[in-house]
Structure formats: structure tokens, C-alpha cells
Amino acid sequence: MLAQLHHLHSNYTFIRDLRVPFFLSMTTPIATDTELSAVNSILGSIGQSPITELKNSSGVLINPNPEISFIYNILTEVTKDILNEGWHFNTEEHIKVSPDANGNITIPVNYLRYDLNDGQADRNMDLVKRNGKLYDLVNHTDVFDHDLELDVVYLYAFEDIPSVFQRYIIARASTRAATQLVANSELVKLLQGQEGLARAALMEYECNQGDHSFLGWPKNSVYRSYQPYKSLIR
């Protein structure tokens, strides 16, 4: 009996020193559908207390703590990194963009990635971003005389991202926060494991939601398969 108590005490001491993530020790789960709750989940993962306010009505950070700003920046960067991969929910094809009176096409701030639709086969135009506008590398101009159709990967507000992506974003951001703010390799390993599980759940959701398949389908079919080899067709 004494040996069992000693074993339990040793485990408790290890877990206490490890600083068990807040989201694992809570009896009531925190909603992960806002930036505030996401920041609190990240804070909890490194053993810090939650906050009650993050931004004012104008969207400006109001917490003077530099650690909060640092964690919020991590959350923002990780969100962009993950959404930039291009998923079923934030990718749209055949988006029409029109030139303004000067012939320029300004790129919206929520465009993470974009390319001319069927750009792999059309080498008469190659679009990039210059000075916030579309620029054609083939014809060396940012002036267009007709509408274009783009395939676009969008950046969405955290609240508009599917919950399975929110959980993965929080998990990856927690790992980064622990790596940069907490000198505890065991905690980082624990969070990396949580990140891997969240990534697996995300991939399952993506496969189900996107109806991806190894089979090819006609170009105009509603059903579009996942075709990673397209990146090699240049």
C-alpha cells in the first residue's frame, strides 16, 4: 500500500512539474470558436491563467501583457500557415476579377493564394502579386483589358473556420508557444502528440468533406478529385 501511494505521489510530482496543459486539466471544456478562447487554450497549455478580454470593439488588442501579444501573433501566423495549404472549405475556382478604370486588378486582402484558372496549361499569362495588384510575368504588365478567372485560396476569420481546423490551429500554436516560452522538453513532446492527433482528425474531415479520390474525373464534373500531381505540371 505504501509503495502504491509512493508511486502515485511520484506520478503527481512529475505531472505537476510538467505543468499539465490547462485544456487537459479542465473539467469543463472551453469553447474554441473565438480568438479569445483560442488564446486562453494556448495560455492554459503552457500553464498560464486565462484572460477575460483580448480586443476592444475596434479590433485592437487591449491587454498590455507582452506575452499575450506574442501568443496572439503566434495564433495569427499559424492560422495563415494552415489555411495557406488550401483546403476544401477555403478554396474556390472560377472566381471572376475585373480590372478597374486604369486596367489594374487589386488583390483582396483575404486572398492567400491564387492562380489563373487552368494556368497549368495556359502559358500566355502568369500572374503574381506586385504592389498589391496582379502582374503578368509573360506580358510584363499590370494592365488588363478583360476579366480574369482565378482559383483562390481564402483567408477567413478564426470564427469562420471549421472547428476541426480551429483545434488543429490551437494545437500547433500551443506547441510553438511551449517551444518558445517554456523550457520544458517533456511538455513540448506532450503538445506535439496532441498536435499530431489534431492533424489526423483534420485530414479525416478534409477527406470526407472534399470527397477526394485517386480517380480522375472530367474537368466540368461537380465531383473533383484530389490531384497533387498538378503541382508538377509547369
* Residue 216: pLDDT over 70: no
| d(C-alpha 37, C-alpha 163), whole Å | 12
Residues 10-22: tens digit of each pLDDT: 444 443 444 444 4
* Domain boundaries defined on the chain: 16-84+162-210, 90-154
| d(C-alpha 54, C-alpha 96), whole Å | 36
**125 Cβ contact partners less than 8 Å away, ≥ 6 residues apart:** 116, 119, 136, 138, 139
Residues 21-77: tens digit of each pLDDT: 444 444 444 444 899 999 999 999 999 999 999 998 888 888 778 999 999 999 999
Name which residue leads in pLDDT, 187 or 59: 187
Residue 33 is which amino acid? D
| d(C-alpha 203, C-alpha 90), whole Å | 15
Q: Angle at CA 152, nearest 5°, toward 149 and 156?
A: 140
Residues 95-110: tens digit of each pLDDT: 999 999 999 999 999 9
Output the pTM of the full model.
Answer: 0.77
